[in-house]
A and B are shown apart, each in its own frame.
Chain A
């Protein structure tokens, strides 16, 4: 794994939904090597710990990286208050990303809330071979649906209250439909309860599935062992792995929820 630390200028900032921001950073050496599913570790000014944020866009030609995050506390609030021209202190790219399947004919990308952004680099790779099922609480949280469409990816938007999108309810209903028709892979990121439901459906249908986890982190590179998650191997033995280095992407059947 190759990663660097640096101060990278913000070249575009957009507020894209309630308390949710999109930043584009100029960081050619990171954009050159970053992969779908990896994350960046950003230090808010005057804080001691960095914030892990998933990568929402990789553009090696323009040397840029896009991140999308929601304000969750004071640290992400401080990051959201940064502006174009300022520089973000970032360690990147980190973690183990999604496995890309060049021969796949149809994959489904399942994102829940702020778990939607890491699905975008997968949409860029799979284009019209992907369907993006995105779930949100209501229309206020809906993000990035037009970005998926730009890549030719089929978009299915779900809201719990039915205030936006074609589906009222959870992402699992449309996912079950696709699973029954037969698909090559499912990739998912979002709340733990959603990931658990997605993983169970895929395992039951014997469909390849990878999920991206999050956990409170300190070092971000695999040294401090702060971001432990429990996994089981093929023999059923239980291990502690680390979201920052072994993940954030794991195979669905590995993760103990």
Chain B
């Protein structure tokens, strides 16, 4: 048995695998399959200042080795999250990353501030949702905006702050550097890539929102590349994600520089994916006589 534990920003994770925000709700539905304590952590559904109803359906489209979604940050709002969901999650013996978002820097800061009085372990600030008109990706695609919103949230919270980055940018390293200088304790990447599908008979986009975020295996190589570039550009830890569906994928992302790994679409294909990935990582490390997963982080040997 290899040691799978990792530490990010002073928080201990029993293993590096975290279901990504948006795929796992607030954990209740997957608890039917396995105890949440088996997971390294859970990134909860993106939560905003007030209830958001999200976008009209269809919100889902399958694509080659992936999928598009345009859920649009549907959530009950931060007060309902703190009152009804968080207490339950904090009893599950796993690290809780509260994913938060907002239309303005002030809203993001207000949401983060409300989490100060809770025992949530970390805050993951979403500056990269492609499915909302205000805030969302608008923050994540400009260095100045990314810095501004990160600063506002930094000033509102002492919790470890992870900023989730958009891949829909020319230079993700510039954004990563901007949020690092603004006080982020870690970055997580990549969020979904903006995509579109059209029904060729009706000539209508498959998604009612016309465009949506692409996730799944199709984006995995982009995630590896971006994690590697960002790990060479910043000193803060990286939580990697994007199309991870096996222990081998997770190992690859950690070699590129990720200290932990989030799992998204793979949970839909196989609800047990996070558990299987943890087991596969262990098997790989054992087969290579590697004692601890920590020693592989960022050890890719580039040509």
Chain A residues close to B by CB (< 8 Å): 1-5, 43, 47-50, 75, 91, 215-230, 239-240, 245
Contact = CB atoms under 8 A, between A and B. Distances in A.
Given A47-B62, A48-B65, 12 more contacts: A47-B269, A48-B268, A215-B58, A216-B60, A218-B69, A221-B29, A223-B25, A223-B30, A223-B267, A227-B59, A228-B55, A228-B56
Given A43-B269, A48-B65, A50-B268, A219 B57 contact: no
A217 B32 contact: no
Nearest to A75: B62
14 contacts: A5-B33, A47-B269, A49-B269, A91-B271, A216-B57, A218-B265, A219-B29, A221-B271, A222-B29, A223-B23, A223-B29, A226-B71, A227-B60, A228-B57
Contacts of B29: 219, 221-223, 245
Given A48-B66, A221-B30, A222-B29, A228 B54 contact: yes
B22 A224 contact: yes
Nearest to B25: A223
Contacts of B54: 225, 228, 240
B217 A48 contact: yes
Interface of B: 22-25, 28-30, 32-33, 45, 53-62, 65-67, 69, 71, 74, 216-217, 265, 267-272
Nearest to A46: B65
A240 B60 CA distance: 15
Contact of A226 (B24, B59, B217): B59
Nearest to B208: A228
Contact of B267 (A43, A215, A219, A222): A219
B32 A1 contact: yes
A185 to B, nearest CB: 27
A137 B6 CA distance: 60
A151 B295 CA distance: 65
A219 B268 CA distance: 5
B67 A223 contact: no
Contacts of B59: 216, 225-228
Nearest to B69: A226
A40 to B, nearest CB: 14
Nearest to A5: B271
